[in-house]
Amino acid sequence: MSVSPPPLIEARNIGRRYGDYVALKGVDLLVEQGETVAIVGPNGAGKTTLVNVLTGLLAPSEGTVRFRGSDIAGVGPVKLARLGMARTFQLVEVFPELTVAETISVGALSQLGRGRRMLASLGADREVRAKVEEVAAIFGLAPSLHRPARELPQGQKKLLDVASAFALSPAVILLDEPTSGVATADKHGVMATLTEAARRAGVQALILVEHDIDLVETYASRVVGLRGGAVLADKPVRDFFADAEATAALVGARTAKARH
């Protein structure tokens, strides 16, 4: 009798307090292979805190969070990345002088165990260089490898942010508002590139925090809605948008009315 593998991510009864303030309470979340799970909710709903718990940046005050069956509470994003879960780094904002190749190489160096040698490895290390070129090709960034990242159009900067995380070869990647600052006309192009890149790179699941509800409806397979630190809805995307009450509570009454 075969035993089913554990969920990629399993969070049970997650709570997180900051002093007397309760940011999360009783949150359950499962993420299975093949899913794109969107986390939505109004400002202050607890989305950022949940993301920080899921990626090991924060330990929960109560509850458990597991990745591939292993407890990852508070392990930190660096160790978690080595285990196979990555989140976007926004390195373009942190290191604007790096070239596209150097930005992608930060993730590649870590994934290949070259962290201490850092960017000195890029020119001489064929394995690192090959990984950088592979990821750049997936994201359509190959023509810009030697261009300073700060010179890229905003849409390509967002792609580069995600490419640096993809270079870690993760099983799961968390995209925190990957289209923020991108022109409305370009948002679907960015998301289409990201989802296709995930498929080509063998990423098993995506977690998406996104305020643009059109993108959520188009690209997510499931929606988890937070309000007041608790899960108000956890439904397949079609069922979520068919529920006018949940949609109004989580993404605004005007949006809900416009869609029905």
Give the range of the structural domain holding residue 229, as residue numbers without chain letter: 1-84+171-194+202-260
Whether residues 214 and 96 fall in one domain = no
User: What's the pLDDT tens digit per position in 66-97?
Assistant: 999 999 998 987 788 888 998 887 677 778 88
Instruction: Using DSSP, state whether 56 is helix, strand or coil.
Output: coil
Whether residues 176 and 70 fall in one domain = yes
Q: What is the mean pLDDT of residues 166-174?
A: 88
Whether residues 122 and 244 fall in one domain = no
User: What's the pLDDT tens digit per position in 91-131?
Assistant: 777 788 899 998 888 877 665 555 545 555 555 578 888 88
Whether residues 5 and 55 fall in one domain = yes
Instruction: Inform me whether the pLDDT recorded for 255 exceeds 60.
Output: no
User: What's the pLDDT tens digit per position in 174-228?
Assistant: 998 888 888 888 999 999 999 998 888 889 999 999 889 999 999 999 999 999 9
Whether residues 110 and 212 fall in one domain = no
Residues 113 and 93: beta-carbon distance below 8 Å: no
Whether residues 162 and 179 fall in one domain = no
Whether residues 78 and 7 fall in one domain = yes
Number of domains in the chain: 2
Identify the burial level of 2 via C-beta atoms within 10 angstroms of its C-beta, where 0-12 means exposed, 13-18 middle and 19 or more buried: exposed
Q: How far apart are CA 157 and CA 103, in angstroms?
A: 11
Whether residues 78 and 181 fall in one domain = yes
Q: How many CA atoms lie within 13 A of 84 on its CB side?
A: 14
pLDDT at 130: 87
Whether residues 179 and 232 fall in one domain = yes
Q: How far apart are CA 169 and CA 175, in angstroms?
A: 15
**Which CATH number is 70's domain given?**
3.40.50.300
Whether residues 72 and 96 fall in one domain = no
Whether residues 116 and 245 fall in one domain = no
User: What's the pLDDT tens digit per position in 18-73?
Assistant: 999 999 999 999 999 999 999 999 999 999 999 999 988 899 999 999 999 999 99
Whether residues 159 and 175 fall in one domain = no
Residues 27 and 44: beta-carbon distance below 8 Å: no
